[in-house]
Structure 1
Amino acid sequence: MSDKPASLITPPDGYGDWLAELKQRIHASQQRATLAVNRELILLYWQIGRDILDRQVEQGWGAKVIERLAFDLRTAFPEIKGFSRANLMYMRAFADAWTNDEIVQQAVGQLPWGHNLVLISKLKAPAERLAYAQAAVENGWSRNVLVMQIETRLLERQGAAVTNFDANLPKPQSDLARESLKDPYRFDFLSLSAESQERDVEKALVRHVTEFLLELGAGFAFVGRQVLLDVGGEEFFLDLLFYHLKLRCYVVIELKTGKFKPEHLGQLGFYLAAVDRQVKTELDAPTIGLLLCKSKNSVVAEYALSDKSQPMGIAEYKLLESLPTELQTGLPSIERLEQELAEIKRRPDEA
């Protein structure tokens, strides 16, 4: 037996690859175990909620029985959390929202309990709940991200951009490309006014690139801003350049602070051609262009795209003006903030 510490023993050839494979298998096993435990818990909660519903309907039990049940379950299982009266009421609502246990064992069962409470509290239609549940599973959204995506109506905006992908991309890439774009894009997180200039928006998007990537959706990787291209000895700059990992292609994004005009596509098409010749490799699919503008006439946009041979999409983006009216009116004014600051400064003297 060697006297050397285990960390100093020279491993044999191939050990590193084997160790990496073992680590992956262990991580995968841990994930499956966690998922199985979560699925069993969600199913248990659904069954308890279903029992409460059935007994209240069939035997006329009132709401008081839930309070008694919470007490008895906490007494019987003091080490288990989750049997409060409030949580039992959530279980009842959960079972009322999902009448089929098969759904619970699929997408919904893969989400933590907190995610499921968000779905039933913020969405009324079962089809909407299921769609957001599946999206949360596929994209690994946290509960806070799920709330944000629901409140900004992500799935309703997805695939809504005006594009010519069907004519210029093969299936299924055209379908995936279309679903990868949305309309409008919500840039509330930038805290910019609607009058902000293109360069201001560009800089702010890069400063908040994490939120920007989240709004763009799964698959987008940031390459650069104001990317230099030399064409015939002249310099041209792309507003924003991304790479889409699922589509395996570059995505050029151009920003326009005004209303869409057909001539905007000429500039975008030039950039796509330059990227295809200078940046794209043989392994990459044709570059896609996305023109983001403050507003557009959809009919004009469709006409403008109809004779373009390069894959392009047109969508609107919204800044602070996209905040709900009730939230805009609920924000404190500058005068109110200054008044509160003055009051805070006076308090030490008053003490």
Structure 2
Amino acid sequence: MNFESLLTTIEQTHAKLNSKAISQINYYNTLRNWLIGYYIVEFEQYGEDRATYGNAVLKNLAGKLTHIKGMSMTNLKLFRQFYQIYPEIGQTASDQFGQLGLASIGQTLSDQLMHREDSGSFLSPWELLTQLNFSHFIELIRVEDTLKRHFYEVETIKNAWKVRDLARAIDTLLFERTGLSVNKADVIAKVRDNQRVGIADVIKNPYLLEFLGLEEKPEYTEHDMESAIIEHLQHFLTEMGRGFCFEARQKRITFDNVHYRIDLVFYHRILKSHILLDLKLGRYDHADAGQMNLYLNYYRKHEMSEGDNPPVGIILCADKNDALVEYTTTGLSNEVFVSKYLVQLPSKEILETFIRNELNQEKL
């Protein structure tokens, strides 16, 4: 296959499958994108002039396919990822290739898939292709861990999640929180209510800080953890979720020559609020809420700009009593959240068992 053949093949595939999309738009659009990803990977591996184009294949394709909507370089990259992560979709779609004049492609795919290891998915390729649209797959593609991705596949189909529900579940670490919870079904049940995203949806509990790689020491101080977070700031911001922008460390505020320091300050571009974070190595104490409320009152009066929403406080601690948190934060004039941090994920065997149980319940 040369480059011109690649262009022609993609154009023909688009023409044949796009006509079907009128009645079954999600199915055929997803199939089209998968096939384009397959063609690109085939060209990159076996194309006659692949060496000529090298890393510029996607750029050149995007430039030549401007007459087809949605063929940007970004989307072509997604199509390629889609095929690479979900090659098994070809198993269920291959019987339709003959009807679309793509019989030789179907045979090629069948031959290749025979030599691939099973994906281990809890769902069949047919279930994935017919019950998820491509926007769902875009969210799933960004989940690198295979077991985690299978978890979100099952929950999306079982709960009929829209794309925004799936994205929200991923961004708030539903997989990790479910695995770490004693009553996993309760965690999932809370997500089934499609509530509007607000501050409580942005603030996670727990936070996973295993990336800090803390060395063994006789004891740790808040400063040790703060320094580790700053050293791994990019990872920490990823863990915090979308929208968090780092602003300050050890932000000092003073009253009558008495200095107080806020461990970390962020600004959330979606909530348009300052997020003040206080690190506690030990268990949450009632005094922590009062101290955070002090910080928030100061920020509300002196640091808010026009268009800002009131600041939000997060107390990040090693352990907490939920009743104590409720009694010490209820009635405060500011939003204060108390979250645990964790440094170790649960075993995958536990999560695999839970996913299988979830799937079995759905099929009853």
Change (3 A) 1:276 1:130: farther
1:280 aligns to what?
304
State the alpha-carbon separation in 1 of the partners of residues 306 and 140 from structure 2.
42
Give the secondary structure class of the aligned counterpart of 1:243.
Answer: strand
Quickly say closer, same or farther: Cα 1:44–1:207, change in 2 above 3 A: closer
**Which range is displaced more, 182-191 or 207-216?**
182-191
Counterpart in the other structure of 2:356: none
Q: Which of 242, 246, 254 is 1:222 aligned to?
A: 246
| Alignment correspondent of 2:223 | 199
SS of the residue 1:213 aligns to? helix
Report the more deviating stretch, 211-220 or 191-200.
191-200
Instruction: Provide the TM-score with structure 2 as the length reference.
Output: 0.56
* 1:269 matched to 2:293: yes
Cα pair distance change 1:289/1:112, threshold 3 Å: closer
SS in 1 for 2:259: strand
Structure 1 residues 188, 111: CA separation in 2 closer, same or farther (over 3 Å shift)?
A: closer
How many equivalent pairs are there?
Answer: 258
- Counterpart of 2:89, as a letter, is W
Q: 2:198 aligns with which of 176, 179, 186?
A: 176
> Residues 98 and 126 of structure 1 are in contact (CA less than 8 Å); yes or no, is this contact kept in structure 2?
no
Query: 1:257–1:294: 8 Å Cα contact kept in structure 2?
Result: yes
CA contact (8 A) 2:237 2:245 kept: yes
Distance 1:154 1:46 in 2: 28
Unpaired runs of 5+ residues, structure 2, are 1-65, 96-102, 182-186, 188-194, 350-364
| Whole-angstrom distance in 1 between the partners of 2:235 and 2:322 | 27
> Residue 189 of structure 1 contacts residue 211 of structure 1 at CA under 8 Å; is this kept in 2?
yes
Q: Which residue is equivalent to 1:187? A: 209
Cα distance change of structure 1 residues 75 and 105 upon mapping to structure 2, 3 Å threshold: closer
Q: Deviations over 1:123-155 (max 9, x none)?
A: 38711578999579859x9xxxx9xx6874489
Q: How far did residue 108 of structure 1 move?
A: 3.7
Q: CA deviation at 1:317?
A: 1.2
Query: Of 271, 280, 287, which aligns to 1:256?
Result: 280
**Cα shift at 1:279:** 1.6
**Alpha-carbon distance in 2 for matches of 1:326, 1:73:** 40
Aligned residue in 1 for 2:114: 85
* 1:265-313 deviation line (CA, Å, top 9, x unaligned): 1110111111122221121100000111111110111111112111110
Name the residue aligned to 1:48: 91
The one-letter code sitting in structure 2 at the alignment partner of 1:301 is V
What SS class does the counterpart of residue 270 from structure 1 fall into?
helix
2:265 counterpart (235, 241, 249): 241
Match for residue 146 of structure 2? 118
1:295 aligned counterpart, secondary structure = coil
Amino acid at match of 1:118: T
Letter in 1 for 2:151: L
Structure 1 CA distance for aligned equivalents of residues 79 and 235 of structure 2:
31
Decide whether the 8 Å contact of 1:251 with 1:290 is kept in 2. Answer: yes
- Is 2:72 aligned against 1:30? yes
User: Over aligned residue pairs, what C-alpha RMSD do you find?
Assistant: 4.7
Distance 1:323 1:264 in 2: 27
Equivalent residue in structure 2 for 1:292, among 316, 329, 347: 316
Structure of higher CA gyration radius: 1
Aligned-partner Cα distance in 2 for 1:36–1:223: 33
Instruction: Specify the code of the residue in structure 1 equivalent to 2:339.
Output: A
User: Separation in 1 of the partners of 2:71 and 2:227?
Assistant: 43
Identity of aligned residues (%): 21
SS at match of 2:250: strand
Task: Return the alpha-carbon distance in structure 2 between the equivalents of residues 29 and 316 of structure 1.
Answer: 44
Deviates more, 1:124-133 or 1:285-294: 124-133
Amino acid at match of 1:46: I
- Corresponding residue number in structure 2 for 1:107: 135
